[in-house]
Structure 1
Amino acid sequence: MQATAYTFDPATRSGSVLLDDGTPLDFGAEAFDAGGLRLLRPGQRVRIEMAGEGGERRITHVTLQTL
């Protein structure tokens, strides 16, 4: 799934993304570390992987979107 980076705190390696429909979703350091990234800037397009359903839905992996 694709999204846009919205916030990112390099100290905690956590942040949030906006889905294409405008829904915000938070991610933790585990999801950021799983993607192998070193930095993320607001506005960058990212690819996310998710697990769970409904209220248990969470981001498990964040990588940069490449063409």
Structure 2
Amino acid sequence: MQATAYTYDPESRSGSVLLDDGTPLPFDRDAFDAGGLRLLRPGQRVRIETAEESEGTGGEAARRITLVTLQTL
């Protein structure tokens, strides 16, 4: 899936992306490290992989980013 880098904190190596429909989705250090990147700038197009996980007692599924890497053509 493709998205656009929205925020990135180099100290924590975490941030967020905007999906093409405008939905923000955060990523953590593990997802960033899995992509092998060293830096990410807001506005860069990225490829992400996600996983579904249940959240809370309501059992609603939430998407979690498992990999962030640059989008190449």
Which deviations, in whole Å up to 9, do the C-alpha atoms of 1:3-48 show, x marking residues without a partner?
0000000000000000000000000000000000000000000000
How many residues align? The count is: 67
* Residue of structure 2 equivalent to 1:57: 63
| Greater strand content | 2
Structure 1 unaligned blocks of 5 or more? none
Determine if the alignment matches structure 1 residue 66 to structure 2 residue 65.
no
Using the aligned pairs only, state the percent identity: 81
* Residue of structure 2 equivalent to 1:13: 13
> What is the DSSP-based 3-state SS (H/G/I as helix, E as strand, rest coil) of the residue aligned with 1:18?
strand
What is the TM-score with the length of structure 1 in the denominator? 0.95
> What is the DSSP-based 3-state SS (H/G/I as helix, E as strand, rest coil) of the residue aligned with 1:33?
helix
Larger radius of gyration: 2
Structure 2 unaligned blocks of 5 or more? 54-59
Shift of 1:60: 0.1
| Greater helix content | 1
Question: Match for 1:44: what amino acid?
Answer: Q
> What is the DSSP-based 3-state SS (H/G/I as helix, E as strand, rest coil) of the residue aligned with 1:36?
coil
RMSD value over aligned CA atoms? Answer: 1.1
